[in-house]
Amino acid sequence: MADTEFVIEPGRQDILMIREFDAPPDVVFRVITDPELIPRWWGPSFLTTRVDRMEVAVGGRWRFVNVDRRGREFFFSGVYHAVVPPERYVRTWEFEGAPEDVALETVTLTAQGGGTRYTAQSVHPSVESRDAIIRADGPRGGRESMDRLAALVADL
């Protein structure tokens, strides 16, 4: 299984997450935009995920809930600004516990040798808000999500 690469440069407001998948872009796009499949891969493995809303269309809203073992809920939400199947989507991304730190996320899927290169760029409102994601161990959760996504894509 390929590793997930992160590009986190000092002084910048963005995070790049890159992963290769052994499936064509249409399969990967379907998995990352299917509300029935999101709970099987989104978030770190120690949390469960519930999809409250997922309207994958321009202007559509999404809201996912991560639940820990003690039943505490963590809400994430946003709005889709562009959807171009199976190439990319652009959406806002907000942890509802910090609503002032809305990021703009662009996920791009590029065909590559029978597989797909997944690139997610999240641009945060400031370097400080980007760094808060790093301190909260966001890359660990992203890496676990990508590992789970790779396993799911391989099963389909």
pLDDT tens-digit readout, 132-143: 999 988 999 999
Q: Whose CA is closest to 102, among 73, 72, 79?
A: 79
Q: What percent of the chain has pLDDT over 70?
A: 99
SS3 8: coil
Whether 124 contacts 98, CB under 8 Å: no
Q: Examine the pLDDT at 1 and tell me if it is beyond 50.
A: no
What Rg value do the Cα atoms of the chain yield, rounded? 15
SS3 31: helix
For residue 4, count other CB atoms closer than 10 A to its CB.
Answer: 20
SS3 62: strand
Alpha helices in the chain (DSSP H): 25-33, 127-135, 138-155
- The 10s digit of each residue's pLDDT in 70-87 is 999 999 999 999 999 999
